[in-house]
Amino acid sequence: MSFTLATWNINSVRLREPIVLKLMEEEAPDVLCLQECKSPVEKIPLEGFAALGYTHMVARGQKGYNGVAILSKIPMEEAGSEDFADLGHARHIAGKLENGVTIHNFYVPAGGDVPDREKNEKFGQKLDYLTGMRDWFHKETPQKSVLVGDLNIAPREDDVWDHKKLLKIVSHTPIEVEHLAETQDAGGWVDVTRQDIPDGKLYSWWSYRARDWDAADKGRRLDHVWATGDISAAAHGSRVLRDARGWEKPSDHAPVFATFDL
């Protein structure tokens, strides 16, 4: 069974329903994982999605903030959710496809603006959330699984527009990169995107603050697709749909794709 998956921080699924539908119509991934849905589950606009074949959904939501959803053309059942660091946020949902693959969809806390947990509570919450993920994967080693989402960290030097300038900027600080690496190692996760695209600058997020985001190209790779070692070799076709960042009323993130032949 072959399936294509996309992950996208949509920054409000109701506000940006038109571009979710555009992605579904033009790219038609079998599975679409959304983060920052900013909607209670019952208010996610399912009718239009179902009309395009996305008749299966698992989700966690809350009013105005956070929220994660997995929309699928393939039969899928819920496989649980976790509240790491006891934040009470809707930041994780898992779904199991009929082929036995479990998909974990994460929205890791952004961490605020100051990379110091003593001065910035949000930064501490981000680190604690990643530690919770790490400990969970140590305790329950994932198998035949894919992890996607806005992990809010650009780990590699070529995942940001300027490594030296961003070393003290939240999302690229050494302590965040270290925490993410520990989380990845704990689950035996393989970075599928960089397995397919091993070299060169690669971004999935461009700030709204940039007057011309495309020309300035000051991006970061915050959105990730990982797979457990038992299925990572089956992954291919990774890409970032950069054009989506320029669609009407866009998210500041672009969708990231991968295909799995299992």
SS3 239: strand
Provide the whole-model pTM: 0.98
| pLDDT of 211 | 87
- The total number of structural domains in the chain stands at 1
> Which residue(s) pair with 103 in the sheet?
95, 146
Q: What is the pLDDT along the chain (262 residues), one digit of tens a residue?
A: 899 999 999 999 999 999 999 999 999 999 999 999 999 999 999 999 999 999 999 999 999 999 999 999 999 999 999 999 999 999 999 999 999 999 999 999 999 999 999 999 999 999 999 999 999 999 999 999 999 999 999 999 999 999 999 999 999 999 999 999 999 999 999 999 999 999 999 999 999 998 899 999 999 999 999 999 999 999 999 999 999 999 999 999 999 999 999 9
Q: Which domain holds residue 19?
A: 2-261
The number of beta carbons lying within 10 Å of the beta carbon of residue 77 is: 11
Q: Which amino acids are annotated as binding site for Mg(2+), given as ranges?
A: 9, 36, 150, 152, 252-253
Joined tokens for residue 130: 């990643």
What are phi and psi for residue 15, nearest 5 degrees?
A: -65, -35
**Alpha-helix runs per DSSP H in 28-120:** 46-51
Which residues does the annotation mark as catalytic? 107, 150, 253
The number of beta carbons lying within 10 Å of the beta carbon of residue 259 is: 18
Q: Which amino acids are annotated as binding site, given as ranges?
A: 9, 36, 150, 152, 252-253
**Alpha-helix runs per DSSP H in the chain:** 17-26, 46-51, 121-139, 163-166, 174-187, 192-196, 213-216
CATH for 204: 3.60.10.10
| pLDDT of 1 | 86
